[in-house]
């Protein structure tokens, strides 16, 4: 889990990004302007910052310059804007921004940019080889770091952890009692279907919505209707 600061003057964007990142297991702090962002940075350390360029008090590029000049630009910063020019993006990159996201920010682009930013911030270069050697699927950088740390400390623990995780996963092939009313049979299948995908995606509603092709609001409503226990599927 990473500690991420989201800086944007639009409430809707802050809420959306916060919801997606929280679903991924990250801790998110929100700032509506540069003043709040300064206070947040002065009071804490972040693994990643998502920074809007156009804000009412101080623009994001100027804030980036402040952090760079004061030695506070110690974390990857991803700039965001719907109206920025190429020159602005180049300037931000020159100052020290890691990358640039154009609004509206799609979920896929956000998650890819965040994963890239956290990987950039990772302190252990052996992360990718160690995970690849045991065939682990692509996951968030924070989880990769935890896994690599376990490998360095006690060689075989990550493999045991993966086996334990696999054992707790619902079986992808299940038997269903068809000798019952259609509605009951359908509900039973749908519940097992969503429980399987929730477990496989570590409880991430964002990824399950993407995988199943449902809107998040519809997905939440469907899971409540089926009586699916969301707490059991969350990442530890």
Lowest-pLDDT range of 3-7, 38-42, 87-91: 87-91
Asked whether residue 116 carries a pLDDT value surpassing 80, the answer given is yes
* Closest C-alpha to 200, from 147, 133, 139: 139
Domains of the chain: 3-121 (3.40.50.2300), 127-168 (no CATH), 182-231 (1.10.10.60)
Tell me the residue length of the chain: 236
What is the side-by-side order of every strand in the sheet holding 48-52?
27-31, 3-7, 48-52, 77-81, 99-102
| pLDDT at 177 exceeding the cut of 80 | no
Closest CA to 21 of 48, 41, 45, 43: 48
pLDDT in tens, 127-160: 333 333 333 344 444 443 443 333 343 333 343 4
Give per-residue pLDDT as tens, 51-77. Answer: 999 998 999 999 999 999 999 999 999
For residues 51 and 26, the answer to whether their CB atoms sit within 8 Å is no
The residue among 165 and 228 whose pLDDT is bigger is 228
* pLDDT higher than 90, residue 121: no
Least confident of 34-38, 83-87, 100-104, 122-126: 122-126
Q: Tell me if 177 sits within 8 A of 188, measured CB to CB.
A: yes
Q: From CA 148, how far away is CA 85, in angstroms rounded?
A: 39
* Among 9-18, 26-35, 77-86, 219-228, the least confident range: 219-228
User: What does the pLDDT read at residue 128?
Assistant: 39
Please state the φ and ψ torsions of residue 204, each to the nearest 5 degrees. -75, 110
pLDDT tens-place string over residues 203-231: 788 888 888 888 777 787 788 888 887 66
Average per-residue pLDDT in the chain? 77
pLDDT of residue 77: 97
CA dihedral 62, 65, 67, 73 (to 10 degrees): 130
For residue 99, what pLDDT band results from cuts at 50, 70 and 90?
Answer: very high
């Amino acid at each position: 889990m990473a500690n991420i600061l989201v800086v944007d003057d639009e409430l809707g964007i802050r809420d959306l990004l916060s919801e997606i990142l929280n679903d991924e297991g990250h801790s998110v702090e929100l700032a509506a302007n540069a003043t709040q962002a300064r206070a947040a940075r002065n009071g804490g350390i972040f693994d990643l910052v998502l920074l809007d360029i156009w804000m009412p008090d101080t623009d994001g590029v100027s804030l980036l310059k402040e952090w760079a000049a004061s030695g506070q630009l110690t974390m990857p910063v991803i700039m965001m804007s719907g109206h920025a020019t190429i020159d602005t993006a180049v300037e931000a990159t020159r100052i020290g921004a890691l990358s640039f996201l154009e609004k509206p920010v799609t979920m896929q682009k956000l998650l890819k940019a965040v994963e890239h930013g956290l990987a950039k911030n990772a302190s252990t270069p052996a992360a990718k080889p160690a995970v690849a050697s045991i065939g682990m699927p692509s996951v968030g950088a924070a989880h990769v770091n935890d896994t690599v740390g376990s490998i360095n400390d006690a060689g075989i623990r990550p493999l045991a952890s993966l086996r334990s995780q696999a054992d707790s996963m619902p079986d992808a092939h299940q038997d269903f009692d068809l000798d019952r009313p259609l509605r009951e049979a359908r509900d039973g299948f749908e519940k097992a279907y969503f429980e399987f995908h929730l477990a496989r995606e570590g409880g991430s509603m964002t990824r399950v919505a993407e995988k199943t092709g449902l809107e998040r609001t519809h997905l939440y409503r469907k899971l409540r209707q089926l009586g699916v226990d969301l707490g059991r599927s969350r990442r530890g």
